[in-house]
Amino acid sequence: MSRIVNVVKLQFVNRQTFVGIPLLILGSAFVLSLFVLFLVPYTGLKYAGGAAGAPMWYFGVAGGQALTLTFPFALSLGVTRREFHLGTFLTAAATAMGLAAIYCLIAVIERATNGWGMNGYFSLPFLGADRLGTSFLTYFTATMLLFAIGYLGAAVFKRWGATVLVSSIIALVAVLVVASTLASRAGTLPGILAWFAGLGIAGNAGLALLLVALLWLASYALVRRLTP
C-alpha cells in the first residue's frame, strides 16, 4: 500500500495535471458564466448551460497524460505496473472527490444567495443543493468516467499505436449509431430511454460507476503488457 501511495505522490509532483489546470478551467468557466448570466436581460431562472462540465471533460485529457507522461518514469523508479495502475486511479479518485466537493459548495452558495442575486446558476439544474449526496456522486462519477476513457485510450495508443486507437473510436461510434438506429426502427428505443429515466440520477450514476470499473479492468489488461 505504501508503494501505491508513492505513485499518488509521484502523480502529484506535477500538480498542474490534477490540480492546477482543473481549477483554472473551473474558475474561468465559473467567472465567464456568471458574467454572461449577468448580461442576459431576463429575470427568470437562468442556467449556465454546459459550462459547468468543462473541468470534467478535461479529465479525459488528464487520463491520457497520467499514463503517457508518467508511466515510463515510474517504471524506471522500480514501480510495478499494478502499483502504477492502482496509484494512478487513486489519484484520479481523490481529485474527482475534491472537484465534486467544490461543485456542491457552489450549489449551496447559489441556493443561499438566490443564484448570486440574479437568479443565475452555474451548477447543473437537476443537481441542486437540496440533493448534495446525489450531486456529489454524479459529479464524481462523471469525472472518473472521463478519466477512465482517456486512460484507456492512452493505453490503446501505447500498445498498438494511433491507427488502432482511431479505428477503435470509429468502430465504437459506428456500433452505437447502428444499434440506436435499429432500436429506433424496432420501436424499442423509447422503452430503453424510459428505463434509464426510471433509474433516476443516482441509478444512472451507479451504472456509470460500473462502467468505470469495467474500463479500469480493461485498461489494466493493457497496462500490464506495456513497455516504457
Model confidence pLDDT, tens digit, residues 60-112? 999 998 888 888 888 888 899 999 999 999 999 999 999 999 999 998 898 88
Q: Which has the closest alpha carbon to 142: 206, 219, 65?
A: 206
Reported as a pLDDT band with limits 50, 70 and 90, residue 128 is low
Are 53 and 127 in contact by the 8 Å Cβ rule? The answer is: no
Residue range 49-61: mean pLDDT, rounded: 85
Model confidence pLDDT, tens digit, residues 176-204? 999 999 998 888 888 988 998 898 888 99
pLDDT of residue 99: 93
Reported as a pLDDT band with limits 50, 70 and 90, residue 125 is low
pLDDT score of 142 more than 80: yes
pLDDT of residue 93: 96
Terminal-residue alpha carbon distance, the chain: 23
The cell numbers describing 204, all together, are 444512472
pLDDT of residue 77: 86
What single-letter DSSP state applies at residue 129? G
The cell numbers describing 220, all together, are 489494466
Q: What percent of the chain is predicted at pLDDT more than 90?
A: 52
Residue 123 carries which side chain, given as an amino acid letter?
S
Residue range 2-16: mean pLDDT, rounded: 87
pLDDT of residue 55: 87
Model confidence pLDDT, tens digit, residues 158-173? 999 999 999 999 999 9
The cell numbers describing 40, all together, are 442576459
CA-based radius of gyration for the chain = 20
